[in-house]
């Protein structure tokens, strides 16, 4: 996370992305602009619920709302997704390094060393068991 990205911004983006309906709305807005009514079609929620989801996406700056005549249309603002990508990249780097270390360790083991097969835990018989 860069110095210019606040924790509140990151929280807002991940909160917005945490809901399947909001992710679906973002998917529908890829490359097109739509009004709320059109966006609401195909979702198993009411139109007012879609409007609430759009408000959350707007507050996280993942969509932009503008007036077109008498209606409001929404477009995707993918630049804000970079905040989430940046944060996740730090973990990709971490896990890549850990996996490289594990590979090095495994490759450094002598060839005749093989791990013991896992044994299932011993079963204990309960006094009330009928077997």
CA 42 to chain centre: 22
Average pLDDT over residues 64-72: 93
pLDDT of 110 reads: 83
pLDDT of 60 reads: 96
CA gap 111, 1 in Å, rounded: 42
CA gap 91, 83 in Å, rounded: 14
List the structure tokens of 36.
């709320």
Sole residue written with tokens 């971490």: 94
Instruction: Write out pLDDT tens, residues 55-67.
Output: 999 999 999 999 9
- Which region among 5-19, 41-55, 58-72, 83-97 has the lowest average model confidence (pLDDT)? 83-97
Is residue 72 helix, strand or coil? strand
Q: How far is CA 112 from CA 3, 63, 106, in A?
A: 50, 58, 12
Q: What is the pTM of this model?
A: 0.67
Phi, psi of 68 (to 5 degrees): -130, 100
CATH number of 7-80: 1.10.10.10
């Amino acid at each position: 996370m860069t110095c210019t990205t606040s924790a509140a911004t990151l929280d807002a983006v991940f909160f917005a992305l945490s809901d399947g309906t909001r992710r679906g709305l973002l998917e529908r807005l890829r490359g097109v602009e739509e009004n709320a009514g059109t966006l609401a079609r195909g979702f198993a929620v009411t139109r007012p619920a879609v409007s609430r989801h759009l408000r959350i996406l707007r507050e996280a700056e993942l969509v932009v709302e503008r007036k077109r005549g008498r209606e409001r249309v929404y477009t995707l603002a993918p630049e804000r997704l970079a905040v989430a990508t940046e944060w996740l990249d730090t973990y990709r780097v971490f896990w890549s390094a850990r996996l490289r270390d594990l590979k090095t360790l495994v490759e450094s083991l002598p060839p005749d060393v093989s791990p013991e097969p896992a044994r299932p835990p011993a079963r204990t018989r309960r006094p009330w068991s009928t077997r």
